[in-house]
Structure 1
């Protein structure tokens, strides 16, 4: 699947980026002001004048960012690719760094106006602004991927045969459950037992059999039932949404809590879902 960066041109993305850059930069200067922003004096106290200057810098940064994103970018930035995004980000650091550099010199009676100072200043600005910039990008990237997953899951292309049954058999004579695959939701390992969760007319049913989850996984061969964790076996047909952040989680129909996907099973679960949905 081709990476989708269309969110980069969204109005909400541009506005969020401008706010993030301005607020982050102000708080950076406020927190680290003893290290160069306030005349290298760690004994200086905060004054209304100092807070006012920081506020002015934040407003100037926000205004410059809005101008850059909403007025300049549409004239030069059309097709969205990762390479173009990187190039635009570099330009943005130069543009914002130059604007803040001129404001800094204006407030200081142009005491540090030189090419060498400008280069050093822009590099310093870039090293600070890269954090809110990258953070905003990956936040929107995550939201975009999450929406794509939900769209995939809401467009079911595979149906489960109504007469297909699953046979769960434990070590005891009475440790047995035969259930339609359409009704089975998930299984959870609990010490020497496995708890089976399934649909029934009155709500959710639960059965406990003495066995291991690994043994049941080996016995049951179905493309719809996939182990996603050392403690969970889920019915992928009932997955309604995926949270694919740092910790992948599956949201199943009929249950309110998400099912965790461990890193060792992440790729296999993803591949099984894509195959079930007939996506290449």
Structure 2
């Protein structure tokens, strides 16, 4: 029996910072404007006015603002996938169609307001927005995938050539979780994983990997153990960067491999600067 493929199984890299959303919104608005003045679709070529290109510019502001608003509202949603991305695009286009309709009706066409005319504007908005959205989604995915893969390959090659060491092997990490206490040498700590109200801490003891569960949040654990080589890489993971043996990149981010650990540690896009940059500084 063949296994059914679900679109929700295809993750998509969501914008995770307001700065990135703002830049993407400006680019989306510019792309809409360039499309309008270059191809002049939907009768735009018949529109004659000495300020024609200036009068078309508000559409770029409308689309850019709609893009910014919807992306900002979805920034906190986790486990983003291609279905969510397509739905988000549909909402952006629907939102943009409302001010576009009023601008066109009241300032350009000077016709009566009617629901049928608005439906026509919705159709035009989607006809214009869908091909541009497809270009944006594919180009962004390809760019991030290629960029992360190249960075990961470079780091992995450097890791094969050198062995990372901690700044001070004698430093002790003191972890306190309620009545429980745990002391681990900086050089023995591997990683930690959040498991609801607990954290699974992996470390080396007598040359073998040991796992211990403590009732503590990942953020509180990080407050106690974060140093130059130990960083949060994901909302659910902390990693000792000196223990990384291999890095794999994809459009969503990176995955770190640690010797003797049977799972990879994800690096989400919101923690790339503190994780990958610190890892590169340790290599250099």
TM-score band (shorter)? 0.3 to 0.5
* More contact order relative to length (CA 8 Å, sep ≥ 6): 2
Q: TM-score, normalised by structure 2?
A: 0.45
Flag the structure with larger Rg: 1
Task: Name the TM-score, length of structure 1 as normaliser.
Answer: 0.45
